[in-house]
A = this chain, B = another copy of it.
Amino acid sequence: MYQFFTDPGNICGKDIYITGQDVNHIKNVLRMRIGEEVSVVTQAEDKEYRCEIEAFEEDRVHLKLRFIKEENVELPNRIYLFQGLAKSDKLELIIQKAVELGVYEVIPVKMKRCVVKYEGKKEEAKVLRYNAISEAAAKQSKRRIIPKVSSVMTFGEAIKYCEAMDIKLLPYELADMKAMDKTRELLKNIEKGSSIAVFIGPEGGFDDTEVDKAVEAGFEVITLGRRILRTETAGMTVLSWLVFLLET
Contacts and interface: CB of A to CB of B under 8 A. Distances in A.
Interface string A211-248: 00000000000001111111001001100110110011
Interface of A is mostly: loop
Interface of A: 71-73, 75, 93, 97, 100-102, 140-143, 177, 180, 184, 187, 224-230, 233, 236-237, 240-241, 243-244, 247-248
Given A180-B248, A237-B240, A237-B243, A227 B71 contact: no
Given A100-B230, A248-B180, A225 B243 contact: yes
A237 B73 CA distance: 17
B226 A72 contact: yes
17 contacts: A71-B226, A73-B226, A101-B227, A101-B233, A102-B227, A180-B247, A184-B244, A187-B244, A224-B243, A225-B247, A226-B247, A236-B236, A236-B237, A237-B243, A240-B240, A240-B241, A240-B244
Contacts of A240: 236-237, 240-241, 244
B71 A177 contact: yes
B177 A228 contact: no
Given A143-B227, A237-B243, 9 more contacts: A73-B227, A101-B225, A101-B227, A102-B225, A102-B227, A141-B230, A225-B243, A233-B236, A236-B240
Contacts of A244: 184, 187, 240-241, 244
